[in-house]
Each structure stands twice: as structure tokens, then as C-alpha cells.
Amino acid sequence: MKITSRDIPPRAAWALEQAGVHPLLARLFAARGIASSDDLDDSLARLLPPDTLHGADDAARFLADAIAAGKRICVVADYDCDGATACAVALRGLALLGARPEHLSYVVPDRAVHGYGLSPAVVELAMGRQPDVLLTVDNGIASLQGVQHARALGLEVVITDHHLPAVVDDRLVLPEATVIVNPNQPACGFGSKCLAGVGVMFYVLLAVRAELRRRGAFSPQEQPRLDTLLDLVALGTVADVVKLDANNRRLVAQGLKRIRAGRMQPGVAALFAAAKREPARASSFDFGFALGPRINAAGRLADMTLGIECLLTDDPQRAAELAQTLDGINRERRDVEAGMREQAEAMLEMLMPEDEPPPALAIFDPDFHEGVVGIVASRLKDKLHRPTFVFALGQDGLLKGSGRSIPGFHLRDALDLVSKRHPGVLKKFGGHAMAAGCTLEEEDFELFEQAFQQVAHEWLDPALLARTVTTDGPLEPRWFAPEVVQAIEREVWGQSFEAPVFSDEVEIVSQRIVGERHLKLTVRCGGAVREAIWFGRSEPVPERSVLAYRLSLDEFNGAQRVQMVVEALA
């Protein structure tokens, strides 16, 4: 383990502080590439314009015509939080823009039965809604056969997605859809390639509203308030772990402001209540670690319809019932995950006779649950800092694998190389640099494991295999204060704009296990004695240690105190 500190450009930090930014926040923002206070303007007026998103205007004209003609639109969703929020945004937004409720419907694939995306089987599922138009959200860009099948049945297809197109014979191939809106399609010059699926759908709605305004359907003063959907956009954006560039941070910031002011969908309010979180203090952390997992659990272990219905209902009581159901499914998901992690870690001990893991890991057990393999792969990757695939047996008898990677190892490209070296082993595969999936026969697992490890052996040198935790350096004693923690929590943090983690050398005054598996510490840091906790660790730490930690507020009997939450040790 190596703990390093970010560089802090002094001029940028000084300029931010001179502009009135809190001195600690100025330092944190400067270290993350913010050069001026203008970069912190999160107003809606600063969003990238919808007409710069390739295909958005074409989609707007098509959907405006479809609404006017009374065409039946079926939204084809995905079974994760981004897909669920994008589906809710699409249905709520189209209704706001004049589509009649009886002309709107949706379908969502079953992870175990249909797999991902607009497959021919999902098109057949959607036909039960008697649609004229299929509108995909968070999927479709690689669904060549599904789109072809839909068009053969006489359906129009509008794709809204953010994933990468399919690669056929080493070239990108787009489906023959009526319209495609995706910032990552080759022809798109949109200024943010990091929009989540829900963000793409929100932009399409903005374009539809502008088109209807041009047609005289309403004036700027009377137009529908699409900003009422920003709580859903913010939730899906953070939960999908997309890069929080400036445009995404504005979307999330706007959603958080509305939630803190009590303006949110009943389902979002119910999820906050189920997670025992306070909307008035909502943070991006809540989206990623409280609300998002409860929605995702439905797609992993049950039916994502539950998550979508929670976000669609306007009945607070119904929303509360659905949120409680999702909470129960999430508890079940945690139990399943814990059992799989224990099994996987026991298997790893056999793979690591000398405590040194191989350059990459591939794990399979017949008892693993297909819906949780991605989470377990992520946990093992974090623990061992190795590219990791975890496989489960699917209902069709094939192994379904989900992988997570480390910086410097492009997971999809690794799968591509395995497929070229061993044709036919991978029945299908896809993904991107840090996460990918693949399907193979059970009898080919050992061959895949060897081939995957061989690629990792060739691509990864010891420097890349050494885990590094990047921090914001030491924290001045004066910033250990509740109001500072609250100021940090109000900001938008996430992927590629990481929440602050500090590092200090401390003296361990005392340490003990609490709750069976958490290490409670009292440390001397910066001349003061402070409380710290390390969740999920039971091994003692040396008397003098360098700790990487974040700040949190520990509340007891109405009093607040700052607590160090330990992330790593060097």
C-alpha cells in the first residue's frame, strides 16, 4: 500500500479563495482541476446546450410528431439504477410534454432470462404493449439484431444510450434505428462524453420541449417544468458511476438542491426514508451508497419493475410500500453478497499459497448468484487490486461473468485479445475499460482463466499492481469542525471528482473491535486526540501509522462530533 498526495496548483487555490471559496474547499477544488470560481457555477444556464448533442434535434422532431399523432411509445429500460431512473424520466417527461398516459408504456428485461439490451426477445416482450415506437433508455447502441427485428415488425426505434457501439470485424457498427442519440457515437461532438443514460434522456426531453416551443405548443413562460425531473437525473448519474465532469456535476448539484428543499418524486422521498437518510442533508454519497443500491437490488435479485414503479408512482403511500420492499431485497442482496465473498475468499487462499495473488483473477462457483457477480468482482478487485472476473451459472447453462479492473488495464480490450487468441471461447462479451461482461461454456472456464491471466501478465507491470491511495494530504487541526464537514458534504463528489480523503501520521492511543468486525480507534493527530473507525477491519494497526481517512459527523444525543473514517494504512 502506498499513500500519495494530490498536487495543489497554488495559483488556482489562491484565485478560488480570493473569489470567496472556503480555504479548504479552494484547496480541494484546485487539486481536482478547478481553476476559477466560474467553474463552480452550477446553474442550469451553464448546462451544455441540447442542440449540440448529435441526434437530439432529430429525436425531438420525431417524438413531437409521434405525440401529435397519438402514437404508442414503449420505453425499453435497463435493469440498473441508471436504466430505472432514465425510464422514469422518459415516461414522466413525455407525459409533461403532452403524450397521453394510455399511449405510454415500458418493458424492462429480466437479467437472467433476456440478458442486457434490446434483444429480439425483448422486442417480442414489448410487442405485448402494442407499440408503434420503441424508445430505448440506457441501452440499444449495440443491439444490432434487436433493432433489425423491431424494424422488420414495422416498429420505429429511437435509441438513447451512452455506451459504446458494437464492434464487428474491428470496426464500429451502429444499429439501423430511426434516430440515435448517444454522445459516444462517432459523429457526436457533444462537450461531455460522460452523460449517464438518464442524462441523455433528459437532454432529449429538453430538445423535444424546444421543438414544441417552436411549433407554438406553449411559450417559454408556460412551458412544462422539466427541472422537476432533476432529482431522478442526479440519482441515476451518481449511481452509474460515470465521470462527474462539469456538466454532470451541474446536473447532480441541481438535483440535490431540489431534494434538500423538499422537492422530489414521492419514490425518491420514500427511498430516503427507507434508507434512514435525511433529504434536507442529501449528498451524492446518499445516491451512490443508499438509494442506488436499493434500486439496483431489484434488478439483481428480483424484478426491476419494482424499482421503476417506485419512481413512477405519485402516491406517497404506494411509494413507501415499494421502497420498503426494495429495502428488504437489498438486505437479501447483502446477505447473498456476503456469502459469495466468503466463498470467493476461501477459493482465493488456494490460488495464493504465498499470499501473492496472480496478476488477474477469475472465480466461479456453481452456487454463485448471477445478479451479484458484479458486486463481488468489485469487492475482490478493491481488496486485492487485481482485475477480477466472477462467474455464475445462468439459466441457459452458460457461465455469465462480470469483471472489474484497475487503472492501466483495459478490461474490454483484454477480452477482445482473449477472443482473438482463442476463437469461440467467448460466446459474447462487451464493456469498457473498468467494467465488462462475458459469456462462455462451463467447460471453457479454465481456458479462459489461463488466457485472462496471460494477458494480465503481459500488460501489467509491478508498478500497476501496487495499490496506491491518492489523498488530499494532511488536514490542518482547525478544519476538524462540524461546519467544515457539512460544507464538504454539500458539494458534489464522485467518479473522477473524488470525495476528499486526507492523510496524517498518527499515534494509536487505543484500539478495539466494535460490532464484531469494525476497528474503533483513538488516535493522537496534530496534537489532539481524535476518534476514528475503520469499517470492515478487525486486524490491529501499528502504534504509529499513516492513515488515509475521510471525515464524517457522528451524532449522539443531539451532539455532533467529527470522526475520522479510515480508508487505508501505510
The CA-CA-CA angle for residues 481, 483, 484, to 5°, reads 65
What pLDDT shows up at residue 245? Answer: 96
Return d(Cα 379, Cα 383) in angstroms, integer.
6
Mean pLDDT of 146-155: 98
pTM assigned to the model: 0.94
Return d(Cα 305, Cα 269) in angstroms, integer.
18
Q: If we measure between CA atoms, which residue out of 71, 145, 140, 83 comes closest to residue 108?
A: 83
What pLDDT shows up at residue 336? Answer: 96
Q: In what order do the strands lie in the sheet with 435-440?
A: 361-364, 388-393, 399-404, 435-440, 428-431
Using DSSP, state whether 535 is helix, strand or coil. Answer: coil
Q: Which tops the pLDDT comparison, 135 or 558?
A: 135
What pLDDT shows up at residue 307? Answer: 98
Mean pLDDT of 98-105: 98
CB–CB of 431/469 below 8 Å? no
* 477, pLDDT greater than 90: yes
Mean pLDDT of 22-49: 96
* 542, pLDDT greater than 80: yes
What pLDDT shows up at residue 353? Answer: 61
What pLDDT shows up at residue 354? Answer: 66
Mean pLDDT of 30-55: 96
What pLDDT shows up at residue 430? Answer: 85
* 558, pLDDT greater than 80: no
Average model confidence (pLDDT) for the chain?
95
What pLDDT shows up at residue 39? Answer: 93
Return d(Cα 264, Cα 279) in angstroms, integer.
9
Mean pLDDT of 105-132: 94
* 148, pLDDT greater than 80: yes
String of DSSP letters for 77-119: --SSHHHHHHHHHHHHHHHHTT--GGGEEEE---TTTT-SSS-
What pLDDT shows up at residue 502? Answer: 98
pLDDT digit string, tens, across residues 349-393: 877 766 678 999 999 999 999 999 999 999 999 989 999 999 999
Mean pLDDT of 134-140: 97
pLDDT digit string, tens, across residues 429-454: 988 889 999 999 999 999 999 999 99
Counting residues of the chain whose pLDDT is more than 90, the rounded percentage is 90
* 84, pLDDT greater than 80: yes
pLDDT digit string, tens, across residues 525-536: 988 999 999 998
Return d(Cα 426, Cα 23) in angstroms, integer.
52
Q: How far apart are the first and last CA of the chain?
A: 6
Using DSSP, state whether 241 is helix, strand or coil. Answer: coil
Which residues are CB-contacts of 227 (< 8 A; sequence separation ≥ 6)?
Answer: 44, 254, 258
